[in-house]
Amino acid sequence: MKKIIALALSAVMMLSMFTACSSEPTVDTNSKSADIVVIGAGGAGMSAAIQAVQNGATNVVIVEKTGMAGGNTTRSTGGLNASETTFQERDKIEDSNQLFIDDTMKGGKNINNPELVKYMAENSAEALYWVNDMGADLTVVGLFGGASVKRIHRPSDTSAVGPVLVKTLLSVVEKNNIPVLYNTKAEEIITDANGAVSGVKVTDAEGTYTINCKAVIIATGGFGANSEMVEKLNPNLKGFGTTNVAAATGDGITMGTAIGAATVDMEQIQTHPTVHPETQTMYTEAVRGNGAIIVNKEGARFTNEMGTRDVVSAAILEQTDGQAWLIFDEAVRKSLKAIEGYISAGIVFQSETIEGLAAEIGADPATLSATMAKFADDVKAGNADEFGRAGLELPLTEANFYACMVAPAIHHTMGGLKINTAAEVLNEEGNAIAGLFAAGEVTGGVHGANRLGGNAVTDIVVFGKAAGASACDYVAANGGHTEATIVVEKVEETVKPEVEANFKDGTYTAVGTGIGGDVEVIAEVKDGEIVSITLGQHGETEGIFEGAVDGVIPEIIKGQTTEVDTVSGATITSNAIIEAVEDIMDQAA
């Protein structure tokens, strides 16, 4: 839904509900101590902090190296896998925890840690209800690759799960007054003479200092954006793009191993098969789950689109130029809100006919037409098709018809710190490092050689909760909980130009192209300088666009220039704002 956002940045800027705004929070760090320090404000980190507080922790702080919460969770587009849920029962879907375990082990080539997989599956339904009770509304059940039955739980409006989850978790973090120190990078985990965790060395804009603590939860995500690390572990991935936010560089693994933590499955790096090769936009697996097929550049199918990600990725790489086309019809488009964003971003071809679509993408019209006809016949006959894809529901015969260029890109790093089911980090001897816990993509063992779509969100919530509960228990047994000593206060700040400019006074309007279509930007010029920038009508994703607003707009105003950095995790919205302001500057020149 379009909305009017009035964000007069020339006036008061408050700490955003979804992100840290341009004004740094005032932190009372005279004591610089906490009972539990959570490193990373993504889905796993926030789940851990919330669970710790719900279990009785009173002095928890989150440190986040970027200027916004969410991490890679903001880019999650699918949902949360859970078995034996009331929503599956409502839809008459027969599933079990054991089937969930079997699918996950099979997808991971059976090198997964069976105990971790069992724990995840058996706690998946409770994790789903937990986030739903906080407002996530993951109530629509669908089918994803590698799953034997419909198991992935998605938002009821079919939107991407990541922004919904981040918004939900962050609102609870704020309601519980859990301080989040943004733009604060954890540098080192400190241990005492006995090897137990005793603090975290961090760096912010003011310098480097130590937060003394009893427990640390590492939730820094994987290393999918660290090309050097990826290529060292798997040289075959040299030159691949990535779906990860820029902050996913493996910091937590480095800090953990520095104090003796063991790692597992580090060479297991997953590619996502359906990523736009130029923009690195990831097409959610739900497009295929809702009925889309994949064809090569000649117009022929070549794989079961609902196979595991490694299998589908490998099949695409064997095709001409290592690329393929994701094909769907109007019925699939209507079934999934996320598709509107791809269309608005200009990365989808469309035509009223299959032959016309073939001409648009350079495929052979006869081949593509025959492919589509064969697929429709298989669906209508109710049979598994020639590639073994069963459960077909949509024949892809409803005009219009759509095509998206796809190629594999680095998506998930399955390896990481070795943990047990209590989310305790283990050393090389298999013993828990006292006071050290971890959850999410920074850990290894859950997914084995290949992660199934929907399991990452389950992972971060289930093991985030486990880490929070375990850290809380550890603190209670080692000196007890104390009153909060780090308090983040919301402050007001007026953003003012820091350089002189010579624009014509007035109010100007322009639009840029965002993920949800046109983004209207309104700017006021006074005394020759841009003094305020606000957003008007737009359809950007709630929980993500705020990062662009808080990160890009203040810098434009300060420098009177569009030569500013985009915000990781909100790159497309950032570019939309920059594009519109460039137009405004031309108008006001």
Q: Which two tokens stand for residue 560?
A: 């009177």
pLDDT (average), residues 505-527: 88
CATH superfamily of 26-268+414-488: FAD/NAD(P)-binding domain (3.50.50.60)
User: Among the residues of 414-505, which ranges form H helices?
Assistant: 455-477
Contact criterion met (CB below 8 Å) for 218 and 425: yes
pLDDT (average), residues 381-388: 84
pLDDT at 490: 64
Catalytic residues: 309
CA distances from 417 to 102, 259, 267, 526 (A): 23, 12, 13, 54
The residues spanned by each domain of the chain are: 3-20+492-587, 26-268+414-488, 271-409
Angle at which helix 455-477 crosses helix 43-54, to 10 degrees, equals 40
Q: How far is CA 67 from the centre of its chain?
A: 15
Higher pLDDT, 22 or 467: 467
The CATH number of the structural domain formed by 271-409 is: 3.90.700.10
Place of tokens 């790159």: 571
* Weakest mean pLDDT among 98-107, 276-285, 345-354, 433-442: 276-285
Q: Which two tokens stand for residue 210?
A: 């130590």
Q: Of 580, 220, 238, 561, which Cα lies nearest the Cα of 417?
A: 220
Q: Of 317, 320, 313, 405, which Cα lies nearest the Cα of 357?
A: 405
pLDDT at 8: 32
Higher pLDDT, 224 or 547: 224
Q: Do strands 197-204 and 207-212 pair parallel, antiparallel, or not at all (unpaired)?
A: antiparallel
Q: Is the peptide bond before 113 cis (omega within 30 degrees of 0)?
A: no
pLDDT for 537 beyond 70? yes
pLDDT (average), residues 174-182: 96
pLDDT tens digits, residue range 408-458?
A: 999 999 999 999 999 999 999 999 999 999 999 999 999 999 999 999 999
pLDDT for 49 beyond 90? yes
Higher pLDDT, 29 or 409: 409
Q: Give residue 562's pLDDT band: very low, low, confident or very high (50, 70, 90).
A: very high
Contacts of 94 (CB under 8 A, 6+ apart): 88, 149
Q: Which two tokens stand for residue 194?
A: 């006995």
pLDDT at 493: 65
φ, ψ of residue 271 to 5 degrees: the values are: -105, 145
* Mean residue pLDDT across the chain: 90
CATH among 3.90.1010, 2.30.30, 1.10.3470, 1.10.10 for 3-20+492-587: 3.90.1010
* Weakest mean pLDDT among 106-110, 219-223, 390-394, 458-462: 390-394
pLDDT at 28: 44
pLDDT for 86 beyond 80? yes
pLDDT tens digits, residue range 123-161?
A: 999 999 999 999 999 999 999 889 999 999 999 987 889
Contact criterion met (CB below 8 Å) for 439 and 219: yes
| Cα 126 from Cα 121, distance rounded (Å) | 10
Higher pLDDT, 137 or 14: 137
pTM, rounded to two decimals: 0.77
